[in-house]
Amino acid sequence: MTFTGKSVIVTGATSGIGRAAAEAFGRERASIVLVGRNETVLGEVAAALRAAGAETATIATDLTKTEAAGAVVDAAIDAFGHIDVLVNAAGVIASGTLEQTTDDTWDQMMAVNLTAPFRLMRAAAPHLKRRKGAIVNVSSVNGLRSFPGVLAYCVSKAGVDHLTRCAAIEMAPLGVRVNAVNPGVTVTNLHRRSGMGEPQYAAFLERSKETHPLGRPGKPDEIAELIVFLASERAGWMTGETIPIDGGRHLTCAR
């Protein structure tokens, strides 16, 4: 699945699934544009990838800003001259029922999880058409199934899934494939950054052994390998897919 001579944009590249995806593309000799908010951490990730032989560029930006998508695409073109793959891995999560979800929480979930990927896909589309490239969106099992207490997050990820399908059918005649991965609970900083304390997070991971039929939460590297596959020519006849990679979580009822 070599990506020699190809450039890949990865958002959320400073941690979790995004960082694992960037590292996986690096192993496949891609040139990688690392996108995140923390410039210091971006530099650390870039240095590690360069030490492993990958060519990198970085852009520190807040993807909720209207101008961010254009800036990311411009950075990729300036660095490598073309775009072959866009990976939308940046995301946030927040708890809340219908009655508990504030306007601010709702707006944040949509801005980061849905609007930012849409804008990046739109901005990158002309360049992806020229290269007959691919888009991989990082969604969630919450996009496929409803779970109580995370209403805005579930809705944002369901939006990502349908955005993936709608873009796929539009872009297919142009030679661009669009797919999504739908992880279950994966050991990253996502929940910690939402305010979940360490004891609560440890209990959450322990509980995941029961809620996921394969008996454990996932690892970022496992999700990254599927992302790289979907972006590769080996998945050349796949588009519009939203693929669970969740230890069987999507097969179960809420429990």
pLDDT band at 133, cuts 50/70/90?
Answer: very high
Would 105 be classed as within a structural domain?
A: yes
The CATH number of whichever domain residue 78 belongs to comes to 3.40.50.720
Would 2 be classed as within a structural domain?
A: no
For residue range 75-124, what is the model confidence (pLDDT) as tens digits?
999 999 999 999 999 999 999 999 999 999 999 999 999 999 999 999 99
pLDDT score, position 159:
98
Query: Within a 10 A sphere around the Cβ of 131, how many other Cβ atoms?
Result: 15
Would 194 be classed as within a structural domain?
A: yes
Would 134 be classed as within a structural domain?
A: yes
Would 88 be classed as within a structural domain?
A: yes
The CA–CA distances, whole Å, from 153 to 61, 80, 157, 217, 254 equal 22, 34, 6, 19, 16
Q: How many CA atoms lie within 13 A of 46 on its CB side?
A: 20
Establish whether 153 is a catalytic residue.
Answer: yes
Would 59 be classed as within a structural domain?
A: yes
Catalytic position from the list 140, 153, 178, 188: 153
Would 254 be classed as within a structural domain?
A: no
Q: What is the pTM of this model?
A: 0.94
pLDDT band at 198, cuts 50/70/90?
Answer: confident
The answer on pLDDT for 32 being more than 70 is yes
- What range does the domain containing 147 cover? 7-249
pLDDT score, position 197:
82
Would 1 be classed as within a structural domain?
A: no
Domain count, the chain: 1
Cα distance between residue 188 and residue 198, in whole Å? 12
The answer on pLDDT for 153 being more than 80 is yes
Nearest Cα neighbor of 168 from 108, 234, 241 is: 241
